[in-house]
Amino acid sequence: MRPVKSVIYKRIPRPDPELIARARRFGVADLHEGLGAVAGRMCLMSPKMLARQDGKRLIGPAITAWNYPGDNLAIHCALEVAEAGDVLVLTNGGGHQGALWGDVACGFAKKQGLAGAVVEGAARDIDAIRELDFPVWSTAVSVEHPEKRGPAAVNVPVTVDGVIVEPGDVVCADTDGVLVIPRALLLHAVDGAEKRAAAEVGIRQLIAAGERPFDIFGFRAAIVEMGIEMKDGTWQDDL
């Protein structure tokens, strides 16, 4: 078996800033739906990836950091090459051993103008992080001591909570979850989100005018077509 090669790439392919600005108008739900059913699911992290503050949002290009389990050298290397507006995407494979992220790193990231951190692994110093008002998502919370010996890799493709993340992919996060949009799909996601948002304006207007979602979405006709019976009674009536 080959040993893991430690490497730090200082640059990433950067997404179109105009597309980022358009995407910033939407939440994770709209962008997820805008990608379509298949890509949307492939790009969405699981509910294990939790926001550690309420009401925070972020969007920006991914700076990736692969950390050996129990070690967080790579996150410090990532902090060295990240630029304002970037999102740190950190992983150690998802174990809780060795906190990947804490308040000291968080304070520096905020000072540098980074957009936030998405951590597959443990974060700690949560109260202090909340006071810093810096957006953080993680799959675990643990204070366990991390080593800083490597190996480490920065700005290489990684798998984070089941989602493939390449450096420069667009990371979107809010209270609903974390979505990673490949750069090649960013325009598709934004176009889809804009269409969805416009359609929902019309749906809300219909509801305000007295229409029912059951009819707006065609569910009444659909259950008839599927042969689903609607009975004017309770389930005890069929005993």
Alpha carbon of 122 to those of 9, 69, 99, 102: distances in Å? Answer: 24, 11, 5, 9
Distance separating alpha carbons of residues 52 and 163, to the nearest angstrom: 20
- C-alpha dihedral over 103, 108, 111, 113, to 10 degrees? -100
117 burial (CB, 10 Å; 0-12 / 13-18 / 19+) is buried
Distance separating alpha carbons of residues 88 and 63, to the nearest angstrom: 5
**Omega before 61 within 30 of 0, i.e. cis:** no
pLDDT single digits (tens) 154-194: 999 999 999 999 999 999 999 999 999 999 999 999 999 99
Distance separating alpha carbons of residues 139 and 49, to the nearest angstrom: 5
| pLDDT over 70 percentage in the chain | 98
Pairing of strands 87-91, 170-174: unpaired
Which pLDDT value is given to residue 1? 41
The domains of the chain are located at 7-192
Q: What is the 3-state secondary structure (H, E, C) of the chain?
A: CCCCCCEECCCCCCCCHHHHHHHCCCCHHHHHHHHCHHHHHHCECCCCCEECCCCCCEEEEEEEEEECCCECHHHHHHHHHCCCCCEEEEECCCCCCCCCECHHHHHHHHHCCCCEEEEEEEECCHHHHHHHCCCEEEEEECCCCCECCCCEEECCCEEECCEEECCCCEEEEECCEEEEECHHHHHHHHHHHHHHHHHHHHHHHHHHCCCCHHHHCCHHHHHHHCCCCCCCCCHHHHC
Prediction pTM value: 0.90
State CA 220 to chain mean position distance.
Answer: 35
Residues of the chain with pLDDT under 50: 1
Which pLDDT value is given to residue 238? 84
Which pLDDT value is given to residue 71? 93
Which pLDDT value is given to residue 98? 92
Cβ partners under 8 Å of residue 130, min gap 6: 52, 53
What is the homologous superfamily of the domain 7-192 according to CATH? Answer: Ribonuclease E inhibitor RraA/RraA-like (3.50.30.40)
